[in-house]
Amino acid sequence: MAEKKLYDAATIGDLAALRQLLQTNQHLLDVVSFPCLKNVLHIAIKQGRESIVEEVLKINPELALELDSKNSSSLHLAAARGNVGIAKRLLAIAPEMCWWRDGQDMNPLHVAAVKGNEAVLEEMLRVDSFPAAARLHRGQTVLHLCVRHRQLGTLKVLVEELGHLVSARDDDGETLLHYAVMDNQLEIVEYLKENGKLEKLTTNSSGKTALDILNGNFRDARTYTKMKTILEKYSNQSIFQNLPRYTEMTMVAAVLIATMAFQAAVSPPGGVWEEDGFDKQKGLNYDAGQAVMHTKHPNTYANFIRANLVSFISSTIAILLLSTAGASDQWIFVTIATYLEWLSMAAIAITYGASLVMTNPDMVTFGFRNVVYITTSIFVPVIIVIFLFGSRRNGGGMGRRLIKKVRPNCDTV
């Protein structure tokens, strides 16, 4: 009989009835238990009866440490209910409950996130944020749980505290984007875009990106189009996925071209005059050490020097950008170095053509302009192919991608 009255008092929040029962039997809280919710505190928390919880905790605070039949603590129940006042009282008694796992291997912060109870979640994060970083079944993070259960509100709260987990992958290699796309959650995909913490698309254990999953999981046309636009922007950043290796390769090419340009300057094609003299054919004086071609083909030699100078300077600047501490791992410096490297390659090709004109008698009548024309007609189509290939693979032109990176405020992902 007393057990039934105690249960009813806790359920309806009748504080007077509770006190009367406890005056009759002060040990009633210790001896009475219930089949699923083990003690009267669990019942009061489940029903959101804050006054009953406060009274029970004054009399017997150790009841807060008891687990129910599902291995849930009283803080688990408060997290699920979403009552901040009750959660504060429990945390004051035993803050270590934030770490306790229930029968589903979730701690109270996980439960609050799944249930969408932002206020309780914020309170527990204030006390101890580390339990929120604990991984669950198959390596899922609490952020994965938020996406799975469509809880955008608690996701936002957690991202503020655990931003480093936004790109985390579970044991199947799946990120928040994979989950959001699989469940057709456009709002979460848009939030992840606006948040700006995601850098690129990654593949899961099946080798699929979120964009691959979207293309194979077409549902609503409007949602599909918006998601695809967002995901393609993430995919377009793939050129920088292996930035250190790309930087190293660009550096090697820059050093090689700079060396070639330097060697061509100090040892010009055709050699140098060994002593002072006079060229009767050109009517020019020359000094020892001057390039022979400067006397024999002055116009072509001048163009040769210009092209060689452009090649050397552009390669040298690229080397400077890639070797400066803190710059070689930044996409904008690598981008500039890449463009400079393309310029130096074109210039060194022109230098090579000019060398052929100056040293081969059969090429003299060919002319420097033809060298420039041939170099341009070959080099430009190759660059166009690179752009088109990048567009086809990544869903957008390389040029457009790099422009957007230079001006992130226009359309930041």
Say if residue 387 is in the same domain as residue 322.
yes
In a domain, 130, yes or no: no
Check residue 25 and give its pLDDT. 77
Q: Is 227 in the same domain as 246?
A: no
Name the residue range of residue 17's domain: 1-104
pLDDT at 277 over 80: no
- Do 160 and 16 belong together in one domain? no
pLDDT, tens only, 249-267:
888 888 998 898 888 888 8
Question: Does residue 327 sit in the same domain as residue 285?
Answer: yes
Cα separation, 347 vs 311, whole angstroms? 5
Least confident of 47-51, 185-189, 351-355: 351-355
Co-location of 247 and 383 in the same domain: yes
The DSSP bridge partners found for residue 291 are: 272
CA distance 72 to 41: 13
Last residue of a domain, one of 224, 239, 254: 239
Contact 74, 107 (CB under 8 A): no
pTM of the model: 0.59
Q: Among 84-93, 268-277, 326-335, which stretch is predicted with the lowest mean pLDDT?
A: 326-335
What does the alpha-carbon distance between residue 309 and residue 46 come to, in Å, rounded to a whole number? 79
Q: Name the average pLDDT for the chain.
A: 81
Place of tokens 């390039």: 291
In a shared domain, residues 312 and 167? no
Which pLDDT score is estimated for 364?
55
Residues 252 and 139 grouped into a single domain: no
Query: Is 298 contained in some domain?
Result: yes
The answer to whether residue 330 is domain-embedded is yes
CATH code at position 177? 1.25.40.20
Residue 26: inside a domain: yes
One domain, residues 401 and 275: yes
Q: How crowded is residue 348: how many other Cβ atoms within 10 Å of its Cβ? A: 24
Calculate ∠ Cα 8-14-15, nearest 5°: 125
Beta-sheet pairing, 284-286 with 277-279: antiparallel
Q: Note whether residue 194 is domain-resident.
A: yes
In terms of domains, do 357 and 399 share one?
yes
Q: 117 lies in a domain?
A: no
- Are 369 and 328 in a shared domain? yes
Alpha-carbon span 367 to 317, nearest angstrom: 30
pLDDT the model gives residue 371: 64
Q: Are 230 and 209 in contact (CB under 8 A)?
A: no
Domain assignment present for residue 124? The answer is: no
The pLDDT of residue 400 = 40
Residue 305's pLDDT band, with cuts at 50, 70 and 90, is confident
| Least reliable range by pLDDT among 52-56, 59-63, 408-412 | 408-412
Per-residue pLDDT reduced to its tens digit, 368-402: 666 666 777 776 777 677 656 654 444 444 444 44
Confidence bin at 56 (pLDDT 50/70/90):
very high
Within-domain flag for 148: yes
**Residue 52 CB contacts under 8 Å (≥ 6 apart), including other chains:** 9, 10, 13, 15, 18, 40, 44
Write down the pLDDT at residue 238. Answer: 46
Find, among 304, 313, 321, the residue nearest to 343 by Cα.
313
Residues of the chain with pLDDT > 70, as a percent, come to 78
Among 207, 239, 271, which residue terminates a domain? 239
Amino acid at 230: I
Considering the domain architecture, whether residues 74 and 173 belong to the same structural domain is answered as no
**Which pLDDT does position 6 carry in this prediction?**
83
Q: How many domains does the chain have?
A: 3
Confidence of residue 242 (pLDDT cuts 50, 70, 90): low
More confident: 368 or 269: 269
Q: Is the pLDDT of residue 182 over 50?
A: yes
**With 90 as the cut, is the pLDDT of residue 275 above it?**
no
Last residue of a domain, one of 239, 266, 283: 239
Asked whether residue 275 falls in the same domain as residue 368, the answer is: yes
pLDDT value of position 77: 96
Residue 2 pLDDT grade (very low, low, confident, very high; cuts 50, 70, 90) = confident
Compute CA distances 408 → 42, 189, 201, 237, 391, whole Å.
52, 19, 18, 13, 19
